[in-house]
């Protein structure tokens, strides 16, 4: 298990490096008029919420009491045109790679925990999956999650509650999901000059994709997402026992 976790951490760090953001650029917001500053903060909340809440929908079937899942989740989002922090850096895509652990419990419940730390940013998340419908082919579950990110220049929180449905068929398992999400961002400790400013975003996340299991235990999945007036993708590699 230690080797699996180490491999997942290395993969997450490698992927996240390709989406590195200079968060100290938020200090440039101080030159904006209040209306422009609010637009920039709200757009930033949309983009941060899109990745913080991503990667929660790939399966509806719960793992069972002895079940365990470990993998790397990589949500990605097309940058909002009003997101000054990212557009000033000529970034068109934002992404983050989480190491995610899922454990089955009695009562048709899975617990989820994930995290990432690197490039000065720490992100953590917790959630739960509860089976609503469990048939031979069709599964439907309720999913709730809470995610945070902290950086010297920015802090953010995303919460979500939604439903996932998936088909339990050999090799390829399609899934769809919908979540109601809410995100807030505030300046970090080194951006105290912006104290009192904040950004908020709320709305629905829609996601659809396919799980592919080329070998026993191993799975890969990819999904297309629509969230916060934008579009993105979700991808993952993992092992399910």
User: Mean pLDDT over residues 53-59, rounded?
Assistant: 92
Give the three-class secondary structure for 12. helix
**pLDDT above 60: residue 1:** no
Percent of the chain at pLDDT > 70 equals 92
Distance CA 72, CA 88 (A): 29
Note the pLDDT of residue 119.
Answer: 82
CA gap 59, 227 in Å, rounded: 19
Is pLDDT at 17 greater than 50 in this prediction?
no
Distance CA 103, CA 14 (A): 25
Q: How many structural domains comprise the chain?
A: 1
Question: Which residues on neighbouring strands pair with residue 124, listed in sequence order?
Answer: 115, 148
Please choose, from the candidates 21, 88, 15, the residue with its C-alpha nearest in 3D space to the C-alpha of residue 48.
21
Q: What is the pTM of this model?
A: 0.90
Beta strands in the chain (DSSP E): 68-78, 93-95, 98-105, 109-118, 121-134, 138-151, 154-167, 172-187, 199-212, 218-227, 230-240
For residues 209-213, give the mean pLDDT. 94
Residue 225 scores a pLDDT above 50:
yes
Kindly report the number of other CB atoms within 10 A of residue 214's CB atom.
8
Q: Which residues contact 33 (CB under 8 A, 6 or more apart)?
A: none
Residue 4's pLDDT band, with cuts at 50, 70 and 90, is very low
Whole-angstrom Cα distance, residue 207 to residue 233? 9
Q: Which of 201, 152, 127 is nearest to 26 (CA)?
A: 152
pLDDT of residue 16: 47
Q: What is the CATH number of the domain that holds 109?
A: 2.40.128
Which residues span the domain enclosing 131? 2-240
What is the pLDDT averaged over residues 194-205? Answer: 97
Residue 14: which pLDDT band, with cuts at 50, 70 and 90?
very low
Select from 111, 177, 168 the least CA-distant residue to 141.
177
pLDDT tens-digit map of 104-133: 999 999 999 999 998 889 999 999 999 999
Partner residues linked to 104 by β-bridges: 110
pLDDT, the chain, mean: 91
Q: Which long-range contacts (CB under 8 A, 24 or more apart) does 6-14 make?
A: 8/70, 8/71, 8/72, 8/99, 9/99, 11/72, 11/97, 11/237, 12/72, 12/97, 12/98, 12/99, 12/116, 12/118, 13/97, 13/116, 13/118, 14/97
Mean pLDDT over residues 219-232, rounded? 94
pLDDT tens digits, one per residue of 62-109: 999 999 999 999 999 999 999 999 999 999 999 999 999 999 999 999
Region 129-154: mean pLDDT is 97
Q: Which residues in 216-241 are b (16+ Cβ under 10 Å) and which e?
A: eeebebebebebbebebbbbbbbbbe
pLDDT of residue 2: 56
């Amino acid at each position: 298990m230690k080797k699996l976790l180490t491999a997942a951490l290395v993969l997450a760090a490698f992927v996240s490096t390709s989406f590195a953001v200079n968060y100290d650029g938020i200090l440039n917001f101080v030159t904006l008029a209040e209306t422009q500053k609010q637009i920039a903060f709200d757009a930033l909340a949309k983009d941060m919420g899109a990745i913080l809440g991503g990667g929660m929908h790939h399966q509806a079937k719960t793992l069972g009491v002895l079940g365990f899942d470990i993998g790397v989740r990589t949500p990605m989002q097309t940058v909002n045109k009003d997101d000054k922090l990212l557009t000033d850096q000529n970034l068109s895509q934002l992404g983050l790679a989480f190491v995610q652990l899922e454990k089955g419990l009695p009562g048709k419940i899975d617990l989820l925990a994930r995290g990432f730390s690197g490039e000065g940013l720490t992100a953590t998340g917790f959630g739960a999956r509860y089976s609503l419908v469990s048939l031979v082919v069709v599964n439907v579950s309720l999913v709730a999650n809470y995610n945070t990110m902290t950086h010297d220049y920015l802090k953010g929180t995303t919460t979500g509650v939604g439903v996932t449905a998936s088909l339990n068929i050999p090799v390829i398992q399609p899934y769809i999901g919908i979540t109601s999400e809410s995100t807030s961002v505030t300046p970090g400790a080194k951006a105290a000059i912006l104290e009192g400013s904040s950004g908020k975003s709320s709305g629905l996340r829609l996601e659809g994709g396919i799980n592919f299991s080329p070998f026993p235990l191993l799975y890969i999945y990819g999904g297309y997402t629509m969230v916060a007036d934008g579009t993105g993708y979700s991808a993952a590699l993992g092992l399910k026992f």
